[in-house]
Amino acid sequence: MADDENTPMATENAALSDALAAAHAAVWGYGVVGAALPTDARAAAVAAEDAHRGIRDALIALLGERGADPVLPEAGYALPFPVLSAVDAAALAAVLEGGVAAAWVRVVDGAVERSTRALAMEVLSAAEVRAVGWRTAAGQPPVTRAFPGLQQ
């Protein structure tokens, strides 16, 4: 069993499980983001939440096909700071996207399958594009990052 846990595919699956955990957190977090935004500003949060739900479901299916137990969402999550305004909500969304980006960079690093790298590229880029919008809304210059998901 120890050998199984040390195979390249096991490493890839572990990274995908971490990405699934990040997706769970993002889905939960966007509920908080949306609740803190005025009604007419919620479209971006709803779209982002939908995107993370889609990735979450895809990961659950992929890991299930591979015989890996998909990680479940946490019973609760701690907010990194109080979310009391639209600016706080945007800042939280940027944090959520940053967490997702970090998880997917690790997926690229640990990926065996080319198709996994392709999926990771897609998700990582989408997360950064959303994050740029949220950092802008939160007033967090510079709103772009040279190395999304990587420690700088």
Contacts of 1 (CB under 8 A, 6+ apart): none
Site map (CB under 8 A) of other proteins, residues 69-108, x = contact? --------------------------------x--xxx-x
Q: Binding of other proteins at residue 61 (CB under 8 A)?
A: no
Q: Binding of other proteins at residue 58 (CB under 8 A)?
A: no
Of 46 and 118, the one with the shorter C-beta distance to other proteins is 118
User: What is d(CA 103, CA 109) in angstroms, rounded to the nearest whole number?
Assistant: 10
* Contact assessment for residue 99 and residue 26, using Cβ atoms and an 8 Å cutoff: yes
Contacts of 67 (CB under 8 A, 6+ apart): none
Q: 């994050």: which residue's tokens?
A: 131
Q: Binding of other proteins at residue 117 (CB under 8 A)?
A: yes
For residue 124, the SS3 value is helix
Q: Binding of other proteins at residue 68 (CB under 8 A)?
A: no
The CB-of-59 to other proteins minimum distance in angstroms stands at 14
- Options 19, 71, 120, 138; binder of other proteins; rule CB under 8 A: 120
